[in-house]
Structure 1
Amino acid sequence: MGEDRLFIVFLVVAVVVLLTRALAGRLRVPDAILLVLLGMAAGFVPALPEVVVPPDLVLFGFLPPLVYHAAFFTAPREARADIVPIVTLAFGLTTVTTVAVAGTVHALLPGLGWAAALAFGAAVSPTDPVAATSVMQRLGAPPRMVTILEGESLINDGAALTIFGLAAEALGSGFTPAEGAGRVVQVVAGGVAYGLVLGIVIRRVRRSIRDPVSQIIVSLVTPYLAFIPAENLGASGVLATVVAGFSIGTHGEGVLQPASRLVGNAFWQILTFLLESALFVLLGLEIREVLHEPGGHTWGEVALTTLAVSAVVIGVRLLWQLGSGRLASAVPGGRRSQEGLGWRQRTVIGLGGMRGAISLAIALSLPAAVGPERGLLVLLTALVVLITLIGQAPLLPVLLRRLGLIESERRRREAMIARKAVLQAALARLDEMAEEDEVDEQTAEAFRQMTEVRLDRLRYFLDREGTGEGARPPNTRHVRSELVRAQRAKLDSLYRKGRIGAETQREIGRELDFEDPVALRKPRA
């Protein structure tokens, strides 16, 4: 792709992402749907050059940071508590879905070999929790359900990509079942071992770094240090990246300083959003070439195959979730792990398995060895992703309300209790410092008053709830935002009048940014 064409594609991706950000909130639809649809629409602009995404670019450029980010920010305690349902979904369901999809497309497209069918099955088997968990968190669904969906998505990425890698190898050279079993052991064990070693090394390196920018550079390099060498050693780059990310993330509080966490979290949120958005748009652009002639198949065959595969991925997941309780109970400690997971929770988790960016990345990295069917498989993946998003995402709010699984009040109260506890800890430490003459009494009293004002507000709302009077604290977001806006206007006025310099304006402006509730909202994923 020439420099001019690359610039045009980059510009189209940027425009589509900006349009999506503007429209998704108003239309109340997941970003992924608009990204693909607008990308497909942009693909029909006559002046736009043909777009063919190199498989290696997706495999080695996009996947490592996306997988690493998901692993790093996994909640370790919650994931360990629900490890049985997570593992049974991530490994058992992923394998069953891959085989079921492979059998379906092999039957409907006889010219497609088993290796290519398995590679496609691996592409559409992993779930993307972004759409499901964003809906659940907004409505206040039980945190345990969110944890299971996020934990499953993290591990099933590794499982699906391992299967995909073996199928891609079989496309090129082929191997016997015995050789395949040996490769599985090598790929899995090698990836896990390398990820563990790298995680230990990176943690030690990061402990010695104090500069936030250097921390970000190390964090950005880490997924590639995990993925690429592991792949070159014949191990699973995905598993190495997952293990390294999880290992570093669970020790993050001891590794990162507060300034590094603030900057790093913002950097990774933006990076993953841009990578996922670019994947959706690039897929939409590439589909234009496939639509002219979908692998020599009629549109009736494409529609039938799409509906069949979509029915398989949705139906197999729902059946597995509703019937996997007995399987999980057979695992040591599994019976206890199933407590609290009734048919209502299982139904929502079963219908929360939308497909997303990882499926697109795997499909776009299908090797040329697949043959003329490669374009068709990419198209089928995009259609399955759209069907699961459009068909399942709107159902989740309805299900959560009808099944009585919304717990926003409980979560809000939990947050207030936690804030009360940490403020009380701050006051206790302040008293200790005053007693030990680490701080003078006047300074201690100033900080004590600031902390007690926040603490009194929390006590007030918690006490009102306890007496059953007032229910929810008023929404103070607007008031806080207006106060910050007034302060920022005054700050700008002082700068314009020459009473303060630019550095002072920027410093206080950054402090106001952290106080502004609008500025602190996370971007939609």
Structure 2
Amino acid sequence: MGEDRLFIVFLAVAIVVLLARALAGRLRMPDTILLVVLGMAAGFVPALPAVVVPPELVLLGFLPPLLYNAAFFTAPREARADAAPIFTLAFGLTTVTTVAVAAAVHALLPDVGWAAALAFGAAVSPTDAVAATAVLQRLGAPPRLVTILEGESLINDGAALTIFMLAVEALGTDFTVGHGAARVAQIVLGGVAYGLVVSIAVRRLRRWITDPVSQIIVSLATPYVAFIPAEHLGASGVLATVTAGFWIGTRGEGFLQPASRLAGTTFWRILIFLLESALFVLLGLEIREILRGPGGQSWGLVAVTALAVSATVLGVRLVWQFANGPLARLVPGGRRVQAGLGRRQRLVIGLGGLRGAISLAIALSLPAAVGDRRGLLVLVTALVVLVTLVGQAPLLPLLLRRLGLVEPERRRAEAMLARKAGLQAALARLEELAEDEEVDERTAEAFRQMLELRLDRVRYFLGAGREAEGAAPPGSGRVRAELVRAQRAKLTALYGKGRIGAQTLREISRELDFEDPFGVRRPPS
């Protein structure tokens, strides 16, 4: 691609992203839906050049950071509590969906071999929770539904890509059951083991880095260091990346300075948004080339295939949701795990299985060995993503309200209670410092007034007091660090007892980072 064409493509991506952001705020819709629609529309603008995205670019350029970011921000306690429903969805449902989609494609397109059909089924089987969780969180849906959808979306990427790798290998070789079992062990165990090695090494390295920019560079390199060598070793780069991200995210944040966390969080939020946006727009620009000849099939057959695959994906998921509950109760401890997941919750989870950037990335990674049908399968994947995002996502707000699952004040009340507890802990620590004469009375009084003003505001929002106005007076950096540390300790204790969720913990931790961006490091967790 020449420099002029490359510039035009980058400009088109930027314009579509900005337009989607502007419309998302006005229409109150998730960015992902608008990016899909506008990205595909951009592909039909005559002035834009045709684009063919190399599968290697998608597999090696887009997937590692997307997977790493999702794993890094996993909520460990919530995921552990809902491990059973998450794993049944991530492994059981992903496998069943892959086989069902492969059977449907093979029935409609017999000349597409079973290996290619399974590879395609693996592409459309993983869910992308970005759009669904954006809707759920904005409306204040029960946090358990968000946790299950996010956990499923993270783990089923590894399951789907493992099946995808095996199916791609089967395209050009004689594949036996024994060989398949050995490769699964190599892919899974090797990927997890290598991911642990990378996470331990990166954690030790980042322990000695104090510069926020250097921290960001290391964090950006980590998913590629986990993904690419694992692939060359014959293991799962996906599982290695997910393992590294989860291990560092749940065990590594304690040794980072607040300034590094603030800069890193902002950088990764922007990076992931740009990567997902660029993937949708690049797909839209590639669609024009795909539409010129959909694998030699008629457009009627393409439409039927896309609808059949979309119906299979949704139908299998809904059947699994409502059939899995009674079966899970037969397992020891299953009744306790399934408590709170009634028909209303299962229906939301069933309709929350949207497809997105990961499905596009996997489909675009289909090798040339698939033959002339590669373009057709990529096109059908794009249509399935479009149907699930544009068809299902707008129904979620209506469904949540109709089923009475909207709790708009829950997160706000939870955050206010956590702030109240943290401020009270800071006041108690301040009194200890004053009693031990580690701080003079004038400084202590300044901080006492500041904390009490903030506590008054929190009590006002909780309905237990009146709002107080005033600015926080300046004070000693060491005292500020002590008070922030006390609040952090209280937040950690509240999270450990299950009284607040991971999202509330991160939200208030970021606020404390702003209060003391260069504070003393916390000991590694």
Q: How would you bin the TM-score normalised by the shorter chain?
A: 0.7 to 0.9
- Residue in structure 2 matched with residue 82 of structure 1 by the alignment: 82
In the alignment, structure 1 residue 160 sits paired with structure 2 residue 160: yes
Moved more, 183-192 or 327-336: 327-336
Evaluate the alpha carbon distance shift between residue 40 and residue 397 of structure 1 in structure 2; reply closer, same or farther with a 3 A threshold.
closer
| Deviation at residue 402 of structure 1 after TM alignment | 1.2
For 2:117, the equivalent position in structure 1 comes to 117
Q: Deviations over 1:367-410 (max 9, x none)?
A: 11111110111110110001001111111111111111112223
What is the aligned partner in structure 2 of residue 496 from structure 1? none
Please state if 1:281 is matched with 2:284.
no
Deviation at 1:323, TM superposition (A): 1.2
Q: Which residue is 1:126 aligned to?
A: 126
Identity %, equivalent residues: 79
Unaligned 5+ runs, structure 2: 472-510, 516-525
Q: In the alignment, is residue 10 of structure 1 matched against residue 10 of structure 2?
A: yes
Question: Is the 1:195–1:239 contact (alpha carbons within 8 Å) kept by the matching residues of 2?
Answer: yes
**Aligned-residue offset at 1:11:** 1.4
Q: In the alignment, which residue of structure 2 is the partner of 1:269? A: 269
SS of the aligned residue for 2:372 comes to: helix
Give the distance between the partners of 1:256 and 1:30, measured in 2 at CA: 32
Partner of 1:225: 225
Map 1:73-472 → 2, pairs under 5 A = 73-464=73-464
More deviation, 435-444/344-353: 435-444
Displacement of 1:344: 0.8
SS in structure 2 opposite 1:45? coil
* Contact kept in structure 1, 2:295 and 2:372, CA below 8 Å: yes
Distance 1:327 1:203 in 2: 41
Unaligned runs of 5+ in 1: 466-472, 484-510, 516-525
Post-superposition offset of 1:322: 1.1
- Give CA-to-partner distance per residue, 1:443-464, whole Å, 9 cap, x none: 1110110110111222234344
- Whether the 8 Å CA contact 1:128–1:354 is kept in 2: the answer is yes
Shift of 1:302: 0.6
Q: CA deviation at 1:332?
A: 4.6
User: What is the DSSP-based 3-state SS (H/G/I as helix, E as strand, rest coil) of the residue aligned with 1:210?
Assistant: coil
Mapped partners of 2:292, 2:265: distance in 1: 42
AA aligned opposite 2:264: G
1:121-175 C-alpha deviation (Å, 9 max, x unpaired): 0111001111111111111110011000000000001111111111111123342
Residue 327 of structure 1: how far off its partner (Å): 3.5
- Residue-by-residue CA offset, 1:102-121 (whole Å, 9 max, x unaligned): 00001001110111101110
Which stretch has the larger CA shift, 148-157 or 35-44? 35-44
Contact 2:79 2:151 survives alignment (8 Å): yes
Q: 1:466-505 counterparts in 2 under 5 A?
A: none
Query: 2 CA distance for matches of 1:45 and 1:397?
Result: 33
Measured after TM superposition, the shift of residue 316 of structure 1 is: 0.5
Change (3 A) 1:51 1:427: same
> Which one-letter code corresponds to 2:70 in the other structure?
A
Asked whether the 8 Å contact 2:37–2:386 carries over to 1, the reply is: no
TM-score (structure 2 length as normaliser): 0.87
Q: What is the total number of aligned residue pairs between the two structures?
A: 475
Aligned partner of residue 51 in structure 1, secondary structure: coil
Q: After TM superposition, give the deviation of residue 330 of structure 1 in Å.
A: 4.4
Aligned in 2, Cα 1:457/1:434: closer, same or farther, shift over 3 Å?
same
Cα shift at 1:428: 1.2
Asked if the contact 1:88–1:328 (Cα under 8 Å) also holds between the matched residues in 2, the reply is: no
In the TM superposition, what whole-angstrom CA distance separates every residue of 1:13-35 from its partner, at most 9, and x where no partner exists? Answer: 11111111122222333323332
Q: Could you say if the C-alpha distance between residues 26 and 105 of structure 1 is closer, same or farther in structure 2, counting changes exceeding 3 Å?
A: same
Q: String of CA shifts for 1:70-118, please: whole Å, max 9, x gaps.
A: 0000000100010000000000000000000000001001110111101
> How far, CA to CA, are the matches of 2:279 and 2:299 in structure 1?
25
| 8 A contact 2:423–2:451 mirrored in 1 | yes
Change over 3 Å in CA distance of 1:282–1:110 after alignment to 2: same
Aligned-CA RMSD value: 2.1
